Amino acid sequence: GENVEQHPSTLSVQEGDSAVIKCTYSDSASNYFPWYKQELGKRPQLIIDIRSNVGEKKDQRIAVTLNKTAKHFSLHITETQPEDSAVYFCAAADTGRRALTFGSGTRLQVQP
Amino acid sequence: ETGVTQSPTHLIKTRGQQVTLRCSSQSGHNTVSWYQQALGQGPQFIFQYYREEENGRGNFPPRFSGLQFPNYSSELNVNALELDDSALYLCASSDRQKSGELFFGEGSRLTVL
């Protein structure tokens, strides 16, 4: 089955700096890669996703890149703000299977 | 349009007991998935239901079972509870005919003593 590795497990940045979280996956059939943000005691919320037919996608301060050959994808957050502090999860799925395999999460702390 | 709702939000059980968790999917969504999230870990796929049938299952034993009803709501049942079953149980709904994006509920936090 699919295996998703996520790094780092914790990340502390100063407000205004950029943050990068990296994930690798094992199943070459995976073609859907969402990123979720989970605040303490709250539900995971989708912040951005990318499909295997594109290499990069941006949404304001958030961008995701995908390298299918190397089987890795990354989340980039620019101009970080204290409200970006949360746990971020990457995930991968073969849309035919429709089950997401999640990484272990990255706790991002943005220091004001 | 209502989002995904789950009940109960918190519950405490003892080893060996049985538990039923409930989920109402987002309006218009026909697929429900259940995930288990242990403390400090990512969610793990339990199973998915579509048209009242199980449509994919993760690495969970048969004592984890589920149902989907004609209105697309769903139940997760866990028999013979073990201490390691303590976790946040997340329900997620999606529209199989569309993007497949998952919308999560707030979860049911189960503590097994």
Of B34, B79, B83, which Cα lies nearest the Cα of B54?
B34
Is A29's Cβ below 8 Å from some Cβ in B? Answer: no
Separation CA A108–CA A61 (nearest Å): 15
Cβ–Cβ of A104/B41 closer than 8 Å?
yes
**Does residue B89 carry a pLDDT above 70?**
yes
If pLDDT is split at 50, 70 and 90, which confidence band does B100 have?
Answer: low
**Does residue B96 carry a pLDDT above 80?**
no
**CA closest to A42 among chain B residues:** B106
Q: For residue B101, give the nearest of A42, A46, A99 by CB distance.
A: A46
**Does residue B1 carry a pLDDT above 60?**
no
Whole-number mean pLDDT of chain A? 94
Question: What pLDDT is attached to residue B94?
Answer: 86
Question: What pLDDT is attached to residue A99?
Answer: 86
**Does residue B99 carry a pLDDT above 80?**
no
Note the pLDDT tens digit of each residue in B2-37.
689 999 999 999 999 999 999 999 888 889 999 999
**CA pseudo-torsion sign A47, A4, A1, A27:** positive
CA distance to A17, A26, B14, B94, per residue, from B29 (Å)? 38, 30, 34, 5
**Does residue B110 carry a pLDDT above 90?**
yes
3-state secondary structure of A37: strand
Is A99's Cβ below 8 Å from some Cβ in B? Answer: yes
| Chain B interface test: which of A3, A40, A43 (most B C-beta within 10 Å) | A43
pLDDT < 50 positions in chain A: none
Strand partners, B57: B47
| Chain B interface test: which of A53, A100, A101 (most B C-beta within 10 Å) | A100
Q: What is the DSSP letter of B9?
A: S
Cβ–Cβ of B41/A44 closer than 8 Å?
no
Backbone angles phi, psi at A74, to 5 degrees: -135, 150
Strand partners, A62: A59, A77
| Chain B interface test: which of A2, A32, A98 (most B C-beta within 10 Å) | A98
